[in-house]
Amino acid sequence: MTNAALAPWTGPHGGFPRFDQIQPGELGAALRTGMDGYRADLAAITANTDPASFVNTILALEVCGRPFGRAAALFGVYTSTMNDKAMQALEAEMAPVLSAFGDEITQNEALFARIAAVHEVRAGLAPAERRLIETVYTGFARRGAALGAAAKTRMTAINARLATLYTQFSQNILADEESQALVLHAEAELAGIPASLRDAAAADAAAKSLPAPAWRFANTRSVMEPLLTLAATRGVREAAWRMFTTRGEHAGAQDNRPVITEILALRAERAELLGFASHAHWILDDNMARTPDAAMALMRKVWTAASARVREEVAAMQALAPAPIAPWDYRFYAEKVRKARYDLDQDEVKPYLQLDKLREAMFWMADQLYGLAFTRVTDVPVVHPDVTVYAVGRGGAHAGLWYFDPYARDGKQSGAWMSEYRTQESWPGGTAIAPIVSNNANFVKGAPGEPVLISWDDAVTMFHEFGHALHGLVSRVAYATLAGTNVKRDFVEFPSQLHEHWLATPEILERYAVHYQTGAAIPPALLAKIETAKHYGSGFKTVEYLSAAIYDLAIHVVPAAEAGAIDPLAFEAATMRELACPPEIVMRHRPTQFAHIFSGDGYSAGYYSYIWADTLTADAAEAFAETGTFYDRATAERLHTAIMAVGNSVSPEAAFRAFRGRDVDTNALMRDRGFPVA
C-alpha cells in the first residue's frame, strides 16, 4: 500500500494533499522512501551518456524527486502547526537525516559536473533557461559542490549538527510558550484589559481546568502585545514582559544560550570552508545588499533618525508617567500619548477590526489589484478543523488554493507566516501546476459565536502575510525553482510589506472596518484620526526592529576564530551599548527566542532584509500615491507583470526598474516613516 504522504495530489481544484488519509506517524517512512526515489532519479541523470544539456540535466533535475517534495512539504506543515511530542521526536530524528541528504545531492560530483557543463554553454539559450541554469549552478557552488573530499566531509557534519541545533532551538521556544502563561486570579488585576481578551483568557483558563476565578494569558505575541498596551496594572505588565522576553533563556534542558553559541561557531567554520570571511559575508554575497557593510550602512542611516524620534516619544510619555518609563511601560504610555495627542486609542479602533471581515477585505484587495476571486471550498481535507480552504480563480480559470489557519493551539509555532505547499510552474511541454499556499497566525479564539477582534498591528501583519501568499498565487513562471517567493532574501519581503499599505486605504476601511456589535462602518472622523496619527510610534517600531537586525548582522560577521566564545546575551548588551539603544526598548526578538535567525539559515544574517525591502516598498507605494489612488489599474497591472508574476526569473534590480522606471529612491523610506530626509 502506497504511503499517502508520497501520493500525487489529485482531485478537484488542481489537486491537494490528502490530510484525511495521511498518518503523521508514517511521515518518517515517507521521507526515507522519497529520498530513495530521489536518488534513483538523480542516478538516471548522471548515468545518461549523452552530453549534458538543459533538458537532460537541468530540466531533469527540476522535475526529479517529486514524491519526496510532497512528503517534505507535509512534514513542514505538521512540524510547524501540529508539533505534538511524537512529531517533535520525529523532527529531531529526521533533521540531521534531511540535512545529510541535501549535502549528498550537493556533493554528487557527477551531477555537478553535468550542471557545470551546461553552465559553460548557457549563452545560446532562452533567458528563462539561462536564469534557471545560473540559479542552480550558483546554489550548488555556494553549498560546497566544488570543495575537496575532506572539506565536503566536514561540511556534511557541520550541516547535520546545525539541523539538530535548529530543531532544538525551535522546540525549546515552543516548550516555554506552552509551559508558561500569565495567570491572574483577581479581577482588579484585569483593569484596562479589553473584554474580548479577558473572555478569551477566562476560556483558556477553564480549558486548562484552573480553579476559578482565573484568567490565563498565553505566552505568545498576539496575546502579550495587547496586554502590554492596555493593562493598567504595572505589575501585570512587568510580569507579562519578563515572561515573554525571556523565552528560551532559563537554565536547564530548554536553555537556548549554549545552542546559539554552538550555532555561531559552526556557521563561522562553514563560511571559512567556503572561502568567506564570515557567515554574514557568505549570506549577503547572494543577496541584493551583496556585503554586510552595505546592509549596515542603510540600517545606521535609519537608526540615527529613529533613535532621535524615540527620545521625543519617551519625553512625551514621561510627562504622563509617575515613574521612569521601563520597557514594560512603553506600549502602555505610548497609547496614552496617542489618545492625548490624536484623540485615538486601540480600544476605539479594535471593535471595527474583526478577523473575518479583514479576511474579506484581503480578498477584495486581491480582486481589485489582480482579478483574483476566492471561493470557500469544503471538499478539501485539512490538517486541523480550524483550517479553511479557498479555491482561487483568475479570469474564470483556476489559479490555486489558499489555506487559512488563524488560531493558536498547542504544538503550533508562534507568530504569523506564509508557507507554500506547492509552487507554481508551467514549463514548455510540461503540465501547468497551480500553487497551493497558506497563511498561518496565532489569534486567540473568542467565546462561541463571538467575533475575534484584533489590533491594528495584527491587521497589518495579516495584510503582510497575505502579500506573501499573493506573491505565490499570481506567479507566472516556467520553472518552480524560480517561481513565486523563491527570490532573494532581501527582496522577498518587498511584496509583503507593500501590501500592508492597502489596509489603511479608505476603500478597505469604509467597506470592511465595521463595528462588531452595530455593523456600522468606521466613522469618517475616526478614519481621519488614523491617517493623522499614522507616523506616531514610528520611532519605537523602527528601533525595536533595527536593534534586532543590527545584532543579527553584527554577531554573524564574527570570524570563526572568535565565534565559539560568544555569549549571546553579553553580545546583546554590548551591541545595545555601542548603539546607545534607548533603555526603554529591547530587541523585537531577543536572542534566545530569535527564531528568524537561529531556527534555520533562512533569515540568519538576513534580518536586515525587512528594512532593505522597505526601501523598495516605500518607493513603490509612492508610485501608487502619485496616481491619487492605491487602486490605479495601470499601476496595479505594472506591479503584477513586473514584480508579482515574475518570481526570480529576472533579477530583483531589473524587476524593480521595470515597475518604477528607475532604480530605487532610498529617501522614500525616510519619508514613509516620517523621518527627516538628509
Enumerate the active-site residues.
465
Give the DSSP letter of residue 287.
S
In whole angstroms, what is the distance from residue 87 CA to residue 79 CA?
A: 7
CA distance 58 to 658: 28
Residues 6+ apart with CB under 8 A from 385: none
Distance from CA of residue 487 to its chain's centroid?
A: 14
**Distance from chain centroid for Cα 446:** 25
Question: Which grid coordinates belong to 10?
Answer: 489529485
Partner residues linked to 505 by β-bridges: none
Q: How far is CA 365 from CA 358, 410, 498, in A?
A: 10, 32, 12
Residue 200 φ/ψ, nearest 5 degrees: -65, -40
- Cell numbers 509551559 label which residue? 179
Which grid coordinates are listed for 98? 534531511
Q: How far apart are CA 373 and CA 393, in angstroms?
A: 5
Q: Concatenated DSSP letters for 358-418? A: HHHHHHHHHHHHH-EEEEEESSS--SSTT-EEEEEEETTEEEEEEEEEEE--TT--SS-EE
Closest residue by Cα to residue 144 from 133, 135, 153, 152: 152
The Cα 56–Cα 669 span in angstroms is 46
H or E stretch including 441?
strand 436-443
Cell of 149: 573530499
Sheet holding 388-394, edge to edge: 372-377, 388-394, 397-407, 436-443, 417-422
